[in-house]
Structure formats: structure tokens, C-alpha cells
Amino acid sequence: MKIGCHVSIAGKIWQCFQRAEAVGSETFQIFTQNQRQWKSVHYTREDIEQFHQLRKQSIYRDAPIVAHASYLINLCADDSEKLQRSRQAFADELERCDALGIDYLVIHPGSHGGKGEAWGIATIAETLNLTFEKYQPNVQVLLETTAGQGNNLGYRFEQLHAIIQQTERKDHLAVCVDTCHIWAAGYGLENEQAVDETLHAFDDILGLDQLKVWHFNDSQKEKGSRRDRHAPIGEGLIGLDAFAYLMNHPAFGEHPAILEIPGGDEKFKENIALLKSVRK
């Protein structure tokens, strides 16, 4: 796998390349705007051109770059006004990603707000269908596995499968697996056998070809806790062995593995070096 981390876009968005290189990232993830604001950002032609130029000149010329959608977006919001805002914000994310040449856009499926799993899945699929009917993006949208907190959907592989099955343009969709999230949702990662069982379950339900990006995060909380608390690699309850096994798994040779851990750049640098050291 290619190992990297989430990188800040503070200042100018194109400064992400320098920041990623500084911590040893081989790939990286960004937000395309402030992840906690509804106001949509539209980049100037100069910023977009600079982004493309710096990518061509960097070690990321041929490496996949990942974006993460705003945390405010809820593809199945139970409030009609928020649902419309979410749909517009999602469409804006797609257009920004395409302008920047981003390869993957990771998004949380959404929270049904108490209206039930079936309603939530149908509404997410409706949102995706309406969006892709108006705009067919080049960036591939990745539904992220979740920890299952509250009414959030995506904590079971079957839910992600159902969303994709109800979406007409399936070619625009795939999956991002977050290790902390699936652990919190009850999937095993504690040893090689448990990892294999989890991968087999994913393959049976979705197909491993649908898994495009990993989020590599250890967990502060126990398996099945339904609590999303990231920890640095090897400092949580999952442990280093699972990540070392995944790093060398033949199914994921060039897949991006993105760290989203606490501790800032120094911890990113330390964990990236650690994961490179266990890669054979």
C-alpha cells in the first residue's frame, strides 16, 4: 500500500503538497474547504492551475489523492432544508474535486435521524441518483464505513451494499474502509485470522474490488463499542500486527492508506515511518 495522512489546506490549497512531503506521505487526503462550514468555496483559476502544476512536479504526480467531504453533509437528513443543503454541498464537493483532479472523494453515508435504516438507505440512494443525474463526476465517490454511533448508517457492509444497489450510476461509487470504524462496529482485526474473516465478509457482500481506500486508525475503544475514537497505530486496542498484515496484503498493493490520528505532524511522521518499516 501507499501510506499517507490527512493534510491541512490552511493558507492556499496547493500548499498541501509540501506539507504531505514533509511528513513522508506517499499519498494524502485533504478537505477541499472548511469541513464545518456550509459556505461553498470556489477556487480561482490561478489556484487550480498552481495545484495541478505542483502535483506534476511532486512525488504525487502518479499517486492517488483523496478528498474528504464536509462533515456537515448528511445524504439522508431527516430535515428537508438540511437535506437540500447537503445535496447542494455534495454537488459542490464533486465539482471542486474535478477542478482539482482529485481521484477519490470520501463521504459519510449519513444519519437517518430516527426514521429507520430502510428510509435512510433509500434517501441516500435518492440523493446520489439526483446528483449523478445532473452531474457525472470524474472523481469516484467512496462511501466510508462508520462506527455505528447514533443513527449513522454504513456500519454494516450490508448497508453499503444496499445503497450501491439502489444507485443507478454504480460506476461512480465504491468504498473507503476505516479500521477504527469497522472495529467499533464489531468487525474483527485483532489478529490475522480475524482480519481475513473481515475481508472475506467484505468480499462476499461487496467484493474486494469495491474497496479503493483505507483509513488507517487504531482505536481507543474496544471492539463493538460503536464509539469512534481514533488512536495512533500500535497505541490502541487493534495493535500494530493488523496494520502490518494489511500493509502487505496482496489485494491492496497500490491502495492508499490514510492516517487520521491524533498527535499532529510529528505523530503522522512517526506512524508513516513505522508502517513503511513493516512493509515488505
Q: pLDDT tens digits, residue range 222-272?
A: 999 999 999 999 999 999 999 999 999 999 999 999 999 999 999 999 999
Q: Which of 230, 228, 237 is nearest to 188 (CA)?
A: 237
C-alpha cell at 232: 495512533
Domains of the chain: 2-277 (3.20.20.150)
Q: Which residues contact 19 (CB under 8 A, 6 or more apart)?
A: 7, 8, 265
> Active-site positions?
36, 68, 71, 108, 144, 178, 181, 215, 228, 230, 260
Let me know: does 136 contact 93? Beta carbons within 8 Å. Answer: no
Tell me the pLDDT of the chain (280 aa) as tens digits: 999 999 999 999 999 999 999 999 999 999 999 998 999 999 999 999 999 999 999 999 999 999 999 999 999 999 999 999 999 999 999 999 999 999 999 999 999 999 999 999 999 999 999 999 999 999 999 999 999 999 999 999 999 999 999 999 999 999 999 999 999 999 999 999 999 999 999 999 999 999 999 999 999 999 999 999 999 999 999 999 999 999 999 999 999 999 999 999 999 999 999 999 999 9
